Amino acid sequence: MENIVAHPAITPPPPSGCSSGSCGSTAAQMNGQLSQMSEDIRRRVQDHPCYSEEAHHHFARMHAAVAPACNIQCHYCNRKYDCANESRPGVVSELLMPEQAVKKTLAVAAAIPQMSVLGIAGPGDPLANPERTFATFRGLAEKAPDIKLCVSTNGLALPEAVEELAKHNIDHVTITINCVDPDVGAKIYPWIFWKNQRIFGRAAAEILIAQQQKGLEMLVAKGILVKVNSVMIPGVNDDHLKEVSRIVKAKGAFLHNVMPLIAEAEHGTFYGVMGQRSPSPEELKNLQDACEGDMNMMRHCRQCRADAVGLLGEDRGAEFTMEKVEAMDLSDEFLAEALARRTALREKVAAERAAKQAKAHAPQPAVITLHRPAQKSALAGRHVATEGRPAATEGRSVLMAVAAKGGLVAEHFGHAREFLIYEVTAAGAKLVGHRKTDLYCSGDESCGEGEDVLAKTIRALEGCEVVLCAKIGYEPWGRLEAAGIQPNGEHPLEEIEAACDVVWNEMLKAGKLAPRQTEKQVA
Amino acid sequence: MALEIIETCVNCWACAPLCPSQAIVEARPHFLIDADKCTECLGDFATPQCAAICPIEGAIVNELNVALNPPGSLTGIPPARWAQAQREIAAR
């Protein structure tokens, strides 16, 4: 799999530095940039689960669904947004007024001390509902100033909102940018509402793209951290997203998140009904790898709902209906106690990070993974011997699935609702994605159906050679082995990256990491 | 002369702030247009603003009950394709 591990980012930089339009894209420049920005950015993203991969193991966020109106139509969206059983952006169960959203956020932040971020992401576009969006932010900033505020937008109304965003101390903005070419845009956006008219097709895409790019530049100029989300639509913008990635990086976006299209006929979206397919996990990973040479890539996105609550991948929204929230007494004393719990948790996480850092003897503060390729991350410190020669010369990369909790190998195989996927090489383990699964063992009489669910889980783990979990039963062990996936329960409660590393080195010693026959033929 | 919002409305609020006559009323199960106030935006805008932003085909009709955004006009999904998809889903 050498073609996969050969990230452009680890090729030597050209001698004269910036030689192309993608200024700042080479490894050396990016490292320099990161170390320059590091102190400031580390501090700003260290508790934000959507901006820091490391933080997503420890911190939770919620989305307040206060913004129903939208000013554009995307072909992957349907404005009927009330299904409780679906998890996809734009879907919510209960629309909130700003004062309700503030109350709900306070209730969640009292019950979940990991809560660090309130985001507004829809179900329409937050900036097409500026009064509601900013009223929510104002209300929360007054009652719980420790909670970071964050907004996600399609960008059409962004340039006009930048002043207001800065005034409200919004430190993180996500713009969904699916294209920079209006001909591509015309296949994604059927219309926009612009200056009191509905505008269709290419003309609409042209305006939207111009507004997105202008908004991005204005936010960067204000020092606001920008994440760019892109939906990968095979045959429409998949190849084009490499150019998008180069351009948004050059303009100063901090992080790029390429997400797979979700399209099913029953969602009633254009793509779903017209049979547009979604990308496979492998196609998604290949595109993310291709973009990574130019950009910090986000690999841990769970494409959550516009009313998601809790840790990423663990939605607790159903516990916080407005009916339950309204019944709570949010007295000043209660809120002060909640704040104390959050503060204590953050101090605990900070202490754990410091301990981990000290243990790793990293040459630089390495507690925050800034979504850099693993080759340049903290792990490099533990692989001094591999420096100066290309990675993976002595062993190919291996995909490992991990039943994880809090950054540790901590979940029972049968209890895992998702597996984190790590790509492991001599240079270390790097998170490259996640795979969702149905519960194999629900612990009740429905376990008779476990057979089918297990088969589905094994299919979901396609391409992985190892599954790391805290514990695993006899039956799934045998079935996984038969499917060519080695179960491993020998590292319970160990740190994921370290455990993956140990397993990879064991495989290397056992002679299992020679290039595969089939890959040689392909190469 | 007035437009009407019908039951396919999803209560997304997009139309309400745009109406130059403040004719749109938040109501349940869906938003309504006050027929006495609605001017269909004549004299204010080239096209009725509620219908120009409404994302739901068929949700806004005129006095002849004709949809301002007919099926397929906003999503780009041909009505025949939509019907076929619904049949396929029902048959599962």
| Integer Cα distance of A278 and A318 in angstroms | 28
Residue A379 to residue A12: CA distance in whole angstroms: 19
Lowest mean pLDDT among A7-16, B3-12, B70-79: A7-16
Q: Give the confidence band of A23 by pLDDT, cuts at 50, 70, 90.
A: very low
Find how far residue A230's CA is from the centre of its chain: 11
Kindly tell me the burial class for residue A128, based on how many C-beta atoms sit within 10 Å of its own C-beta (0-12, 13-18, 19 or more).
buried
pLDDT level of residue A364 (50, 70, 90 thresholds): low
d(CA B22, CA B31): 13
DSSP B20: T
Q: With cut-offs at 50, 70 and 90, classify the pLDDT of residue A454.
A: confident
- Two structure tokens written together for A271: 């793509």
Q: What is the band of A319 on the pLDDT scale with cuts at 50, 70, 90?
A: confident
In this structure, the number of other CB atoms found within 10 A of the CB of residue A125 comes to 28
Structure tokens at B26: 């938040």
pLDDT attached to residue B51? 98
Ramachandran region, residue A90 (left: φ > 0; alpha: ψ -120 to 50; beta: rest): left
What is the pTM for the complete model shown? Answer: 0.79
- Whether the per-residue pLDDT at A148 is higher than 80: the answer is yes
Shortest alpha-carbon distance between residue B52 and chain A (Å): 5
SS3 A228: strand
Give A29's pLDDT tier (boundaries 50, 70, 90). very low
pLDDT of residue A1 exceeding 90, the answer is no
Task: Share the mean pLDDT of chain A.
Answer: 81
Portion of chain A with pLDDT greater than 90, in percent: 52
Q: How far apart are CA A451 and CA A440, in angstroms?
A: 8
Residues A337, A343, A346, CA angle at the centre, nearest 5°?
A: 145
Q: What is the C-alpha to C-alpha distance for residues B2 and B21, in angstroms, rounded to an integer?
A: 11
Question: How confident is the model over B54-76, as a mean pLDDT?
Answer: 96
Instruction: Categorize the per-residue pLDDT at A517 as very low, low, confident or very high, splitting at 50, 70 and 90.
Output: low
Q: Would you list the DSSP string of A77-127?
A: --S----TT--STT--S----HHHHHHHHHHHHHH-TTEEEEEE--BS-GG
Indicate which of B10, B12, B47, B56 best probes the interface with A, i.e. most A CBs within 10 Å of its own CB: B12
Beta-strand relationship, A115-120 and A148-153? parallel
- Which residues on chain A are in Cβ contact (under 8 Å) with B18? 196
Q: Output A435 or A131, whichever has higher pLDDT.
A: A131
ipTM value: 0.96
Contact (CB<8Å) A79/B11: no
Query: What is the reported pLDDT for B79?
Result: 95
Phi, psi dihedral angles at A227 (to 5 degrees): -105, 140
- Tell me what pLDDT residue A343 has: 93
What's the pLDDT at A241?
97
Is residue B19 within 8 A of residue B50, CB to CB? The reply is: yes
The three-state DSSP-derived secondary structure of A395-412 is CCCEEEEECEECCEECCE
Q: Which of B11, B47, B89 sits opposite A266 (nearest CB)?
A: B89
Least CB-CB distance to A193: which of B11, B52, B77? Answer: B52
Q: Report residue B47: phi and psi, to 5°.
A: -135, 150
What pLDDT is recorded for position A393?
57
In tens, the pLDDT along B10-61 reads 999 999 999 999 999 999 899 999 999 999 999 999 999 999 999 999 999 9
Q: Closest chain A residue to B51 measured between Cα atoms?
A: A198
Identify the residue among B53, B54, B68, B87 best suited for mutation to test binding to A, counting A beta carbons within 10 A and taking the highest. B53
Yes or no, beta carbons of A124 and B76 under 8 Å apart: no
**The pLDDT of residue A20 is above 50:** no
By the 10 Å C-beta count (0-12 exposed, 13-18 middle, 19+ buried), A335 is classed as: middle
- Residue-wise pLDDT for A503-515, tens only, equals 999 999 999 998 7
Chain A with chain B: Cβ pairs closer than 8 A: 62
What was the pLDDT predicted at A412?
92
* β-bridge partners, A119: A63, A150
The pLDDT confidence band at residue A374, using thresholds 50, 70 and 90, is: very low
Q: Go through the domains of chain A in sequence order and give each one's CATH number.
A: 2-10+22-326 (3.20.20.70), 389-522 (3.30.420.130)
Domains of chain B: 1-92 (3.30.70.20)
**Residue A362: predicted pLDDT:** 53
Tokens for A399? 């995909």
